[in-house]
Amino acid sequence: MTVEDRAWGTQDDVGALSDADLLAAIRQADRGALHELFTRHEPWLSTRLARRCSDPTIVDTAIQETFLAVWRKPNGWRGEGEIAAWLWGIAVRSMLNQLRPRANVVDQLRGLRSAPMHSAEEEVLARIEHSDVGLAFSRLSPDLQAVVQATILDGLSTREAASLLGIPSGTVKSRMSRARTELREALL
């Protein structure tokens, strides 16, 4: 039975299936389910990876490899935690694998490159890290730092951050409010 059969053939019903339902269908080689999972998660994965790597080719390849890995091994998700967090882990490892220098390539690149290139985000974050804001951020609890990272630095919506962190949307909002208050007090 395909996603279309299960959802009575309408696109609106397909979108109503949970990520776990889609993975179950992918285990049965349902390409429609993979397409729906891709459509649902590719936008935020691409945005978040692009904030960590300025090369769009690497980001695109990481996304492709992520969903290829899901197709090949849908049992990689063992039913624990959020599927979005599992996808994020695959995507980051895929991107890092591409960025990991290989010995023969490194020698070739040394002659071509004059200075290492940094993304705009990396430069801004480096400046902030040693400022008053960076110091105040480092004093936040890990839970508050994770919410600030996901919503402010990664630009995820409250719903996306909640999905990624495996917490309710209301918890994201309350932690963000608490983080703002603590940062404001630390910067006064």
pLDDT in tens, 19-60: 899 999 999 999 999 999 999 999 999 999 988 888 899 999
Q: According to the model, what pLDDT value does residue 63 have?
A: 94
Q: Tell me, yes or no, whether 31 lies in a domain.
A: yes
C-alpha to C-alpha distance for 155 and 109, rounded to whole angstroms: 32
Same domain for 8 and 78? yes
Q: According to the model, what pLDDT value does residue 128 have?
A: 67
C-alpha to C-alpha distance for 44 and 61, rounded to whole angstroms: 15
Q: What is the pLDDT of residues 66-105, one digit of tens each?
A: 999 999 998 888 878 888 889 998 998 898 888 776 556 5
Over residues 141-168, the mean pLDDT reads: 86
Identify the three-state secondary structure at position 10: coil
Same domain for 70 and 155? no
Over residues 154-165, the mean pLDDT reads: 85
Q: Tell me, yes or no, whether 105 lies in a domain.
A: no
pLDDT at residue 151 tops 50:
yes
Q: According to the model, what pLDDT value does residue 112 have?
A: 62
| First CA to last CA distance, the chain | 60
pLDDT at residue 7 tops 50:
no
Q: What is the pLDDT of residues 114-137, one digit of tens each?
A: 556 666 666 666 666 667 877 888
Same domain for 8 and 74? yes
pLDDT at residue 8 tops 50:
no
Q: Tell me, yes or no, whether 113 lies in a domain.
A: no
Which of the two residues, 12 and 106, has the higher pLDDT score? Answer: 106
Over residues 5-25, the mean pLDDT reads: 68
Q: Tell me, yes or no, whether 129 lies in a domain.
A: yes
C-alpha to C-alpha distance for 33 and 2, rounded to whole angstroms: 8
How many other CB atoms are found less than 10 A from the CB of residue 2? Answer: 15
Which residue range(s) make up the domain with 175?
118-187
CATH code for the domain of 91: 1.10.1740.10
Q: Tell me, yes or no, whether 106 lies in a domain.
A: no
Q: According to the model, what pLDDT value does residue 35 have?
A: 95
What contacts 81, CB < 8 A, 6 or more positions away?
Answer: 166
Structure tokens, 48: 């978040």
Q: According to the model, what pLDDT value does residue 124 have?
A: 63
Q: According to the model, what pLDDT value does residue 152 have?
A: 82
Q: Tell me, yes or no, whether 108 lies in a domain.
A: no
pLDDT at residue 169 tops 60:
yes
Q: According to the model, what pLDDT value does residue 39 have?
A: 94
